[in-house]
C-alpha cells in the first residue's frame, strides 16, 4: 500500500523540525551540509521522529539547492548533499516510514532577487537527484510566493508520478501575501496535480486552524498541516519556541476536524510534539465532511476625499512641469518654503521631494510634503526609497502618506548608504524598486504585503525612475517595461544633458503609452559639472557641455547663466517630444528652476498662439 492509499483510509503523522533540533544541539551552520560531515546526527533525528510515531519523514534537504548552498560556498555539492540526505532518511526509516524528498521555496520578501528562470534551474537540479535516489514522494514546503510554487509544481508533476505534497506559507490568517484566499490557492495547486495540499511554517496551530476553517475538503487531493510550535521569542541572540507538547495533542484533534490527513510540525517542533499528536490521533480516523466557515470579506473602500488629476493623466493631455526641491539637510525650512512658494506661483504641477538623496540625512520628506500641501497648496510628490525602511517601515510609511492625503509617490531603489554621510549605516533593501511598485499597487487594491485587508483602498499615483544615461538604452527600456508590468503609472528620468540623447529616448520609448517626464537639472559651475559627470551614478555630461561650463570657471554669475542656457536648449529639444518636464533644483537655487518653469510656460503660450494664428 502506498502513501496515497493509506491517506484514503487514515490520518498519517509526519515528522517535525530538523533545524530546531540541530540548533538546540549547538550546531549553527549549514544544516544540509551535515548530511556529509555528520550523518549520524541526521540519522539519529530521523529515528527519534519515527520512534515518536511519525509515519512520514522528510529528507534534510530544505535548503539543499544551488542558491542557498552558494551562501556557504557549497553550490557544487548540491548532488552529493541531496543524495546523502535520501540515503540517510531511508536508512533511518528502514522500510517503516515513507521518505519525502523536501524542496523549500526560494522567494521571500524581495522576489526580484531570484528570477523564475533561476527557480526553475535550481529546482530541476535538486528534484532530479531526489527522484534518482528513490524517494517515496516530493514535499514542496514554505512557499510564500504562489507563482513560484505553481511553477515548480508543474515541473515536478511533469517529471514524476510519485505523490507530491504542496505547502504554502502565510503571513496572515487565510490569505497569501498576494491577496489570494487560501482556499483558492489550494484549489489551484490541486488542479495542477498536487496530491496533498496544505500549510507549513510561520503560523502556530491557532492561526493555522483558523486559516483551515475557510478551506473545503479537496475534491481529489488531501489536506495537510505542519504548524510551527508557536510564535518565536528572541532571547540572547537566539529564537526560542515556547509551546509545550500537550498543546499539540489538543491541536491535533482540531486539525482532524478540519479535514487534515497528513499532520506534522515545522519550526520549533520536536519529537515530543509529534508523539503528542500521534497519541491524540491514535485511532487515525479522518473526517469526510466539514462545515466551512465563511468570513465576511473586509470591504475595501476608497477614502472619501477629492483626488487631484493624476500626474500621468496631466502629461497625457497637456504640458506638465514638476520640480524637485530637496528637503534641507539642516533644521529650519524658511528658505525651502520660500522656494516652494515661488515655484508654486510660477505654475508647477507638483513639487517632488527626494528621500535622503545621495544617502544624506535630510528633514523627512513626508513632513515637508505635509507642510507645503497645507500651508501653500502645493501638490507634493514624495520619493520612497527601498534603502532606509524595512518592509514593516515601508508599509507604515505608505499608510501614513495615505492618511495625510498625499497620493503622489515615486518608488526608487535609493543610493547605497556607503556613498553618503554615514557609510557605516545599513542599507535595508528588503525589497527592490520593482517589488516596491508591486507593493504600492497592492495597497491600491486595499491589501497589505501579506494580503491582509487595509480597510481602505489607497489612491497612489505611482511614479518610477528611468535612467537613460546608459550604454545599452534598450536594456533600460526593458526595465521600464518590467516596472509598467509591476504597476508603474509614469516615469521620471535621471537628468539628461544631451539633445541627441533626448531624441534617442523618444525613439526608444515611443511605443509605450506610459508618460515620461524628462529630467533636466541646470548646472551651477564647472566644478558642479565635473562632479556630476564623474561621481554621481546615472548622470553623464557631454564633452561640449563640460567645456561650456569650464569656460565660465571662476565666474559664478556667468556660470549660472550658462547653466540656464544649456537647460533651455535641452527643454527646446524635449518640448515637441515629451509633454512631461521634470526640473531638478540644484543646491536650493530655486531661482534657476523658477526661470526655467516660466520659460516652459512662455514656450507653451507661444505655441498655442501660433496654433490659433495658423489654425
CA distance 352 to 442: 23
168 Cβ partners below 8 Å, 6+ apart?
143, 144, 146, 149, 176, 182, 185, 186, 189, 198, 199
Please choose, from the candidates 333, 416, 343, 389, the residue with its C-alpha nearest in 3D space to the C-alpha of residue 584: 343
Q: Shortest CA distance to 358 belongs to which of 579, 584, 151, 180?
A: 584
Distance between CA atoms of residues 523 and 402, nearest Å: 35
Under a CB-based contact definition with an 8 Å cutoff, are residues 583 and 521 in contact? yes
Give the sign of the dihedral formed by CA 600, CA 605, CA 608, CA 614. Answer: negative
321 close to 596: Cβ distance less than 8 angstroms: no
Dist. CA 318–CA 98, nearest whole Å: 68
CA atoms within 13 A on the CB side of 454: 28
**What is the DSSP secondary structure assignment for residue 541, as one 8-state letter?**
B
H/E stretch holding 118: helix 116-132
Query: 201 a known binding residue?
Result: yes
Length, in residues, of the chain:
615
| Integer Cα distance of 393 and 152 in angstroms | 32
Annotated binding residue at 267?
yes
Which of 287, 285, 266, 282 is closest to 53 using CA atoms? 282
CB 335: neighbour CB atoms within 10 A? 11
Q: What angle do CA 55, 57, 63 make, to 5 degrees?
A: 165
Find the farthest-apart pair of alpha carbons in the chain and give their distance in angstroms, rounded: 93
Q: Residue 115 has which C-alpha cell? A: 528570477
Contacts of 467 (CB under 8 A, 6+ apart): 476, 493, 494, 538
- Rounded to whole angstroms, the Cα distance separating 596 from 245 reads 71
Annotated binding-site members: 201, 266-267
Residues that constitute the known binding site for Zn(2+): 201, 266-267
Amino acid at each position: 500500500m502506498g502513501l496515497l492509499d493509506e491517506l484514503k483510509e487514515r490520518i498519517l503523522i509526519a515528522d517535525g523540525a530538523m533545524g530546531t533540533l540541530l540548533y538546540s544541539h549547538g550546531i549553527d551552520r549549514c544544516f544540509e551540509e551535515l548530511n556529509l560531515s555528520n550523518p549520524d546526527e541526521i540519522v539519529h533525528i530521523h529515528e527519534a521522529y519515527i520512534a515518536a510515531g511519525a509515519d512520514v519523514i522528510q529528507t534534510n534537504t530544505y535548503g539543499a539547492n544551488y542558491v542557498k548552498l552558494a551562501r556557504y560556498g557549497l553550490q557544487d555539492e548540491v548532488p552529493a548533499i541531496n543524495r546523502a540526505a535520501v540515503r540517510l532518511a531511508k536508512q533511518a526509516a528502514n522500510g517503516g516510514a515513507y521518505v519525502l524528498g523536501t524542496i523549500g521555496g526560494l522567494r521571500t520578501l524581495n522576489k526580484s532577487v531570484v528570477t523564475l528562470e533561476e527557480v526553475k534551474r535550481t529546482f530541476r537540479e535538486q528534484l532530479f537527484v531526489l527522484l534518482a535516489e528513490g524517494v517515496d514522494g516530493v514535499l514542496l514546503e514554505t512557499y510564500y510566493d504562489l507563482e513560484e510554487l505553481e511553477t515548480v509544481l508543474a515541473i515536478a508533476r511533469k517529471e514524476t508520478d510519485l505523490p507530491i505534497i504542496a505547502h504554502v506559507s502565510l503571513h496572515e490568517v487565510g490569505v497569501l501575501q498576494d491577496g489570494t484566499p487560501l482556499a483558492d490557492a489550494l484549489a489551484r495547486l490541486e488542479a495542477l496535480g498536487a496530491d496533498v495540499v496544505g500549510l507549513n511554517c510561520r503560523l502556530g496551530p491557532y492561526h493555522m486552524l483558523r486559516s483551515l476553517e475557510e478551506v473545503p475538503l479537496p475534491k481529489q487531493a488531501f489536506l495537510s498541516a505542519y504548524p510551527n510550535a508557536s510564535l518565536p521569542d528572541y532571547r540572547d541572540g537566539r529564537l526560542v519556541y515556547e509551546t509545550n507538547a500537550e498543546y499539540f495533542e489538543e491541536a491535533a484533534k482540531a486539525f482532524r476536524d478540519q479535514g487534515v490527513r497528513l499532520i506534522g510540525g515545522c519550526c520549533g517542533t520536536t519529537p515530543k510534539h509529534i508523539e503528542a499528536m500521534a497519541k491524540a490521533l491514535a485511532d487515525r480516523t479522518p473526517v469526510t465532511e466539514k462545515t466551512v466557515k465563511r468570513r465576511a470579506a473586509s470591504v475595501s473602500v476608497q477614502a472619501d476625499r477629492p483626488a487631484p488629476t493624476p500626474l500621468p493623466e496631466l502629461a497625457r493631455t497637456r504640458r506638465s512641469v514638476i520640480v524637485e526641491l530637496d528637503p534641507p539637510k539642516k533644521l529650519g525650512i524658511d528658505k525651502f518654503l520660500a522656494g516652494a512658494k515661488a515655484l508654486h506661483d510660477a505654475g508647477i504641477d507638483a513639487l517632488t521631494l527626494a528621500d535622503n538623496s545621495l544617502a544624506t540625512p535630510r528633514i523627512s520628506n513626508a513632513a515637508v510634503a505635509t507642510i507645503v500641501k497645507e500651508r501653500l497648496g502645493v501638490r507634493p510628490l514624495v520619493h520612497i526609497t527601498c534603502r532606509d525602511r524595512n518592509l514593516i517601515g515601508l508599509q507604515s510609511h505608505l499608510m501614513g502618506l495615505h492618511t495625510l492625503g498625499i497620493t503622489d509617490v515615486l518608488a526608487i531603489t535609493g543610493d547605497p548608504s556607503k556613498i553618503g554621510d554615514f557609510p557605516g549605516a545599513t542599507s535595508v533593501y528588503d525589497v527592490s524598486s520593482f517589488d516596491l511598485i508591486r507593493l504600492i499597487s497592492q495597497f491600491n487594491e486595499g491589501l497589505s504585503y501579506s494580503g491582509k485587508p487595509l480597510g481602505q483602498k489607497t489612491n497612489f499615483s505611482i511614479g518610477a525612475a528611468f535612467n537613460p544615461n546608459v550604454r545599452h538604452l534598450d536594456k533600460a527600456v526593458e526595465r521600464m517595461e518590467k516596472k509598467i508590468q509591476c504597476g508603474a503609472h509614469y516615469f521620471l528620468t535621471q537628468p539628461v544633458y544631451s539633445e541627441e540623447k533626448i531624441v534617442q529616448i523618444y525613439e526608444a520609448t515611443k511605443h509605450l503609452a506610459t508618460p515620461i517626464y524628462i529630467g533636466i537639472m541646470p548646472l551651477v559651475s564647472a566644478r558642479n559639472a565635473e562632479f556630476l559627470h564623474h561621481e554621481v551614478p546615472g548622470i553623464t555630461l557631454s564633452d561640449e557641455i563640460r567645456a561650456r561650463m569650464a569656460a565660465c570657471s571662476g565666474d559664478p554669475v556667468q556660470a549660472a547663466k550658462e547653466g540656464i542656457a544649456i537647460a533651455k536648449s535641452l527643454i527646446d529639444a524635449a518640448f515637441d517630444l515629451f509633454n512631461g518636464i521634470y526640473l531638478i533644483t540644484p543646491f536650493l537655487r530655486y531661482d534657476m528652476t523658477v526661470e526655467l518653469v516660466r520659460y516652459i510656460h512662455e514656450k507653451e503660450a507661444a505655441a498655442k498662439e501660433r496654433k490659433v494664428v495658423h489654425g
